Structure 1
Amino acid sequence: MKRLFLTGCVLSLGFCCVFAQPLAFPGAEGFGANSRGGRGGKVIYVSNLNDEGPGSLREAVEQEGPRTVVFSVSGIIDLKTRLNIEHPYITIAGQTAPGDGICLRGETLRIAADHVIVRYLRVRLGDGKHGQGSLQGKDAISISSGRHIILDHCSAGWSLDEVLSASSRTPDLSKVTVQWCFITEALNPDGHSFGSLLRGTGGAKYSFLHNLYAHNRGRNPRPGNYDSNPHDRDTLGLLLDFRNNVVYNWGGEHAAYNADKVSVTRLNFVHNYFVPGQDSKASGIVYSTGSPYNRAYFAGNYYMDELPDDPWKLVKFNESWTQKEISAYKQDQPFESGIVQTDEAPAAYEKVLETGGAVLPKRDAADQRIVKDVRQRTGRIIQSQEEVGGWPELKSAEAPLDTDLDGMPDEWEKKQGLNPKDPEDRNKLNAEGYTMLEQYLNSIGSFQPVASGKHRVIVLTDIENEPDDAMSLVRFLCYCNQWDVEGLVATTSVHQQKETAAWRIKEILQAYGRVRDNLEKHEPGFPTADYLLSVLREGRPDYGMRAVGKGMDSPGSELIIQAVDRPDSRPVWVLVWGGPNCLAQALWKVKETRSAKELEHFVSKLRVYTISDQDDSGPWIRKTFPELFYIASPGFHRYGGYHYATWSGISGDYFHARCAGGDFSLVDNDWVDKNVQNKGPLGEQYPDIKFLMEGDSPSFMFLIDNGLGDPEHPDWGSWGGRYEYYLPKFEKWFLEPETRPLWTNAMDEVLGSDGRWHTGNHATIWRWREHFQNDFSARMDWTIKTYEQANHPPVPKLGHEAYLRAKAGERVNLSAAGSSDPDGDSLRYNWFMYGEPGTFSMGTARTGNPLIINDSDKQEAWFIAPEKARMGTMHIILAVSDDGHPSLTRYKRVIVEIQ
């Protein structure tokens, strides 16, 4: 769960401006979140990798006045002397480097100024010649003075003292945030391999959030001030908010400690994830405290993948303390934190490993190796960087054209209506109060793992209403490495109006936890069961719109709001297996409490796929929020609504839908017993079929990354069906007439397993039944078998672009050259035209005049673009199947525009 803490938010309005002071950037958190950086100042390009001189980073840093430093080069900068940031108001935007990014080597980056923003930068010091021959006293990054400082998505390591410290004996250092950084591999030639020394005085405030500490012997972190300011002279000391960090493989008994005897530190130590490694003593202790004048709040910290029943079990108290001193140390309420976004520790673990460190422009091999160490529980504390291969090569690339050198590429400026020859337009303000330059930097400065193909998913399920939700959840978990699962919410429905059943989800997740590591051997990215349990919620135990309105918030509805509000540009897919009243409540609350523009933005980030209407809140949502992306076959079970719904094509038994054409031998209890239920702990959770098998599965099968569909184009078709955008006419099973278009039932014409042609919306799913059932069977094998014993899908590849143009009468060549199979299986090819998604009129074998694809069963195929049809696009599908057991299929889609 993500919580939003607001502890003192100031709105400042100037005489001629109506903008509140924006954060340093969207997603900035903690005490340093309001840093101005170089906002409104000049732009300085770093154009070479020299240590000093024109075009160097040092020259840019040493200039005065507000300034934003951008890069037109990538690579390693060898520092001959310490690089000091001593003049205030500076932003260093490492994400702008074209290519692989920037790394500083050989000396310390020292920050000693107000209003500093540093993002997406690597600092890896090194020993020997790169450490100037010294074995002590050199941090990778040292923050020594200043206020309003934020480091975001930086990677620091190979230091000869601490990796990254914020330290001052005087009260001239405060309001510091270090977030989403990798603080790793302090070198240990002399036993001084440390993470962070955090010394603060006079009420100094530091936030260390969402960071990874790995392979540091100690000080992960060490808050305090060496007793240089004892409690009787400094009653405030340091306030440290240490939250959502991951700490791995420290040396000895405890990862973090305070060794002071008489100084003051106030500490929030919450929702962190500690994993001892090969250099750690698995003592069950993560923090040792020394000064009885310290106070701390501990909550939600995991140790070795478990949450202790008492949070104080993780703390070692000084043996000389009295019980009164121990009781005074333990706080039952957190201290001030500033604006922070908090996940449960298992969720933080996944997010830090996936998105932390200098991931832009590209995560380098060193960080990739360290993440692998954490996930696989490997790696050691090192003496020298040479033990792990030294500095990865960082290749440069051509920088985008920026004619006026204002930090914004010409093409981006044109799209924003700016003048690429006017450098002054960089400081125009947008609606949020950011300059246009900041808007550009922020557009590339929030890492989103979209390239992985992952979608953000929340499931709303009326599980235990009937068996099919449990069935669908088992299948869902076999594919959950394909999505970022951000919530599993137990809800009500028309069939289960007064209770929810989160307990049943928990049962299935516990079974998943027993097979998750085996699944991971076949494909990476499966979330842990602990993480999935951490995002399990319940809606209100009431039906439909009775649970929507003032005072009707629930953990489920709040989770939806929190997910959409995350600074993540990817939309959130809400998959509705029961009633959607949790979603309705989230939308109602946002509508009532936010501006029209904020509501519009919120709705734009949602995608909904609902399995018919299982309460009255679905029609209300569609009517009230007409711009919401919504996939549904409207209607209730009463009067046959489920019979006519597209999703019934998943199994289409003789109770629901009665849709002939599909192979029913693949969706009966004999098939389930053989292919699912007898395959380990997760299969045991799959119930027998009653009424309909897996009626909810099309919602997530629509998102499976198999090369067939595109979720932003429901009319293209996929394992989850095909839908077209229109206003459906009223039917007797509708609760009320629809008032707006939505993505709803579409028709496919398909030759069925019975040898007859069938036309209907169910066919958009059952036409793929053999493929998706074989795939599920194989995934169930993955839960119990070794990689060598199981089958894995082929990898199709096109020998040309996926979008082709041709004139009528021209030959169009199709190629699957380069397709392969990870198991070495032989491959079969099937090229065919999927007629319904395109705009090009063609017949089928049923109606006559089909498109003839020559050599359609070969790797290389071709056809002649028809002349007697109107121009438009046609969709050609390549299906590549292996000869493994069961046979698995993957696809490529080629769109051909006939001109």
Structure 2
Amino acid sequence: MINKKNKSVFLILLISVFIGLVAGFRPSDEGKMDTKPRVIISTDIGGTDDDDFQSMIHFLMYSDRFNTEGLISSPSYGNGKKKDIQDMIDLYAKDCPKLNAHADFPEPDSLRAVCKQGAFGNAPYTGWRSATEGSEWIIQCARKKASQPLWILVWGGLDDVAQALHDAPDIKNKIRVYWIGGPNKKWSVNSYAYIVKNFPDLWFIENNATYRGLFANISPVDEATANQYYDQHIHGSGSMGKRFENYYKGVIKMGDTPSLLYAMDSGLENPGKESWGGSFSKIDYSTRRIVNRNTTSNDSVPVYSIIEWHFKGPVITFPVDSSCFTLEILGQQWPGYYVGKGKYVARYSPKKSETCIYKTTSKIPGFAVQSGQFVVTNHWPGKRSPDDYPLGTTWYSDRPEADLFLGDQQGGRTIYKWRQKFQDDWARRWAWLQ
């Protein structure tokens, strides 16, 4: 028989559980999961953007929270190498004794052992090229007998993930992909197109804009906090803290870190939940537009969509799927491909709302120059079209609700709302290195 006192205690516990479910479990040290997720990080660290160095330091400072099975250098653009990851681990090794006084961190050599070199440069039109040390490691880890899936956190291009899926389609149901897309979609548009076409039922989070909630400043307070964080919490904090100042003068960007924050949380199979790493909605199509003519300012495409120019030209003796012309958009150059029988194709994915002017050039005799413009609208995935890639039931992306936009960044507020908690939690770990 339950007395009134016990009923009251039971009611309080029930309310507490309900609040916890509504608010979502947070990836703080106080709320960490019992089972560490299996993770592989695929990063273009050492490329043109230093935020991967910042995110790698953050990962190493929270590496006690993961079963790390791989750290892959996948520089779809730039000159990143496996050594860039290993250099960060060398800093971590110096700080490890202090970190281990607070939690059980992995040995530096165990992390060095799973560093692998992935693809250099983006994939051709087919979306895949040849196996790499990184893609083969993904396959090997995915095929392990395990009670939980392998989480692949992609901080750059999808080239090694696409290669692994091409070479071993059987791993599809054994992996979960959280991808920081947006600009990275532009750099690996061919590997993305291969995956979305051939593996539409892959479990996939496509974070094109939500991640910006971690560092986008929408008020003077945000900007002041970002500028002061290094001096207040990082300065003087071990070897990793000393190196951190080299990247953006210590101002936090870390656009890839939301993937870590999501993987540290509970309920990983539910992307719609509240999480420091963002909240996401299912999408059942990925936007594509096929263009067979020169477009004008009257033509529009959604942001983060894939645009394909298909046109005819001279029949040439040229290896199929080889780059033979250049598509120039907003001062950047992208490869175009010959696909046989006088047919030519180029792909592009815009990363923000703007008007894009383009032209094509080639040294092929008789190649007709293509030129035009188009307008990018700021909503993903935008209006449907017959060219779209259909998706299964486990593809997720940025929340579309108007009140969740952070400025012009779709879904950004689902991370921005937790930014102070994230910063405070990280500050406690920096204090361990003082």
Q: 1:747: how far off? A: 5.0
Matched residue type, 1:766: Y
Matched residue type, 1:520: N
Which position in structure 2 is the counterpart of 1:509?
89
Q: Separation in 2 of the partners of 1:618 and 1:549? A: 10
- Give 3-state SS (helix, strand or coil) of 2:429's partner: helix
C-alpha contact 1:724 1:743 (8 A) present in aligned 2: yes
CA-to-partner distance for each residue in 1:42-69, whole Å, 9 max, x for gaps? xxxxxxxxxxxxxxxxxxxxxxxxxxxx
Mapped pair 1:453 → 2:35: yes
From 396, 399, 404, the counterpart of 1:743: 396
Q: 1:735: how far off? A: 2.2
Which position in structure 2 is the counterpart of 1:689?
248
- Give 3-state SS (helix, strand or coil) of 1:713's partner: coil
Q: 1:453: how far off? A: 2.0
Mapped pair 1:541 → 2:120: yes
Q: Separation in 2 of the partners of 1:564 and 1:764? A: 30
- Give 3-state SS (helix, strand or coil) of 2:281's partner: strand
Q: Separation in 2 of the partners of 1:696 and 1:620? A: 23
From 402, 415, 418, the counterpart of 1:765: 415
Which position in structure 2 is the counterpart of 1:519?
99
Shift >4 Å, 4+ stretches: 546-550, 659-662, 747-752, 756-760
Mapped pair 1:621 → 2:195: yes
- Give 3-state SS (helix, strand or coil) of 2:54's partner: helix
Q: 1:684: how far off? A: 1.8
- Give 3-state SS (helix, strand or coil) of 1:458's partner: strand
Q: 1:455: how far off? A: 0.3
Q: Separation in 2 of the partners of 1:650 and 1:530? A: 31
* Structure with larger RCO (C-alpha < 8 A, sep 6+): 2
Which position in structure 1 is the counterpart of 2:74?
491
CA-to-partner distance for each residue in 1:653-673, whole Å, 9 max, x for gaps? 4xxxxx5698333323x3123
Matched residue type, 2:118: G
Q: Separation in 1 of the partners of 2:176 and 2:404? A: 32
C-alpha contact 1:675 1:780 (8 A) present in aligned 2: yes
Which position in structure 1 is the counterpart of 2:64?
481
Mapped pair 1:630 → 2:204: yes
Mapped pair 1:462 → 2:44: yes
* 1:740–1:688 Cα change, 3 Å: same
* 1:633–1:728 Cα change, 3 Å: farther
Q: Counterparts of 1:644-683 in structure 2 under 5 Å?
A: 645-653=209-217, 659=218, 663-668=222-227, 670-683=228-241
* 1:732–1:453 Cα change, 3 Å: same
Q: 1:757: how far off? A: 11
C-alpha contact 1:474 1:685 (8 A) present in aligned 2: no
Q: 1:489: how far off? A: 0.5
Matched residue type, 1:685: R
* 1:608–1:661 Cα change, 3 Å: farther
- Give 3-state SS (helix, strand or coil) of 1:620's partner: helix
Q: 1:680: how far off? A: 1.1
Q: Counterparts of 1:826-837 in structure 2 under 5 Å?
A: none
Q: 1:763: how far off? A: 0.4
Q: Separation in 2 of the partners of 1:585 and 1:763? A: 33
Matched residue type, 2:305: F
- Give 3-state SS (helix, strand or coil) of 2:148's partner: coil
Q: 1:729: how far off? A: 6.5
From 269, 279, 297, the counterpart of 1:722: 279
From 263, 286, 299, the counterpart of 1:703: 263
* 1:663–1:485 Cα change, 3 Å: same
CA-to-partner distance for each residue in 1:523-551, whole Å, 9 max, x for gaps? 22x1111110000011122213479646x
Q: Separation in 1 of the partners of 2:422 and 2:60? A: 15
* 1:533–1:759 Cα change, 3 Å: closer
C-alpha contact 2:54 2:252 (8 A) present in aligned 1: no
- Give 3-state SS (helix, strand or coil) of 1:664's partner: helix
Q: Separation in 1 of the partners of 2:38 and 2:117? A: 19
C-alpha contact 2:75 2:121 (8 A) present in aligned 1: yes
C-alpha contact 2:236 2:242 (8 A) present in aligned 1: yes
Q: Separation in 2 of the partners of 1:548 and 1:744? A: 21
Q: Counterparts of 1:120-135 in structure 2 under 5 Å?
A: none
Mapped pair 1:734 → 2:385: no
Q: Separation in 2 of the partners of 1:604 and 1:724? A: 20
Matched residue type, 1:558: E
C-alpha contact 2:86 2:112 (8 A) present in aligned 1: yes
Q: Separation in 2 of the partners of 1:546 and 1:457? A: 29
C-alpha contact 1:461 1:577 (8 A) present in aligned 2: yes
RMSD: 2.9
Q: 1:777: how far off? A: 1.2
Q: Separation in 1 of the partners of 2:403 and 2:418? A: 10
Q: 1:689: how far off? A: 2.4
Q: 1:749: how far off? A: 7.9
- Give 3-state SS (helix, strand or coil) of 2:87's partner: helix
C-alpha contact 2:127 2:194 (8 A) present in aligned 1: no
* 1:662–1:757 Cα change, 3 Å: farther
C-alpha contact 1:543 1:615 (8 A) present in aligned 2: yes
Q: Separation in 1 of the partners of 2:262 and 2:138? A: 20
- Give 3-state SS (helix, strand or coil) of 1:718's partner: coil
From 134, 147, 158, the counterpart of 1:569: 147
Matched residue type, 1:678: G
Which position in structure 2 is the counterpart of 1:583?
161
* 1:721–1:503 Cα change, 3 Å: same
- Give 3-state SS (helix, strand or coil) of 1:587's partner: helix
| Bigger share in helix | 2
Identical columns (%): 29
Q: Which one has a bigger Cα radius of gyration?
A: 1
C-alpha contact 1:468 1:695 (8 A) present in aligned 2: yes
Matched residue type, 2:198: T
Q: Separation in 2 of the partners of 1:492 and 1:759? A: 25
* 1:711–1:660 Cα change, 3 Å: farther
Q: Separation in 2 of the partners of 1:763 and 1:661? A: 17
Q: Counterparts of 1:3-14 in structure 2 under 5 Å?
A: none
Q: Separation in 1 of the partners of 2:126 and 2:140? A: 19
- Give 3-state SS (helix, strand or coil) of 1:486's partner: strand
Q: 1:501: how far off? A: 1.9
- Give 3-state SS (helix, strand or coil) of 1:712's partner: coil
C-alpha contact 2:179 2:205 (8 A) present in aligned 1: yes
- How many residues in Structure 1 have an aligned counterpart in Structure 2? 299
Q: Separation in 1 of the partners of 2:46 and 2:168? A: 30
Structure 1 residues without counterparts, runs of 5 or longer: 1-449, 592-598, 635-644, 654-658, 785-899
Q: Separation in 2 of the partners of 1:627 and 1:544? A: 22
Q: Counterparts of 1:278-297 in structure 2 under 5 Å?
A: none
Q: 1:647: how far off? A: 0.7
Q: 1:692: how far off? A: 7.1
Q: Counterparts of 1:51-90 in structure 2 under 5 Å?
A: none
TM-score by length of 2: 0.63
Which position in structure 1 is the counterpart of 2:328?
none
Matched residue type, 2:112: L
Q: 1:732: how far off? A: 4.2
* 1:692–1:672 Cα change, 3 Å: closer
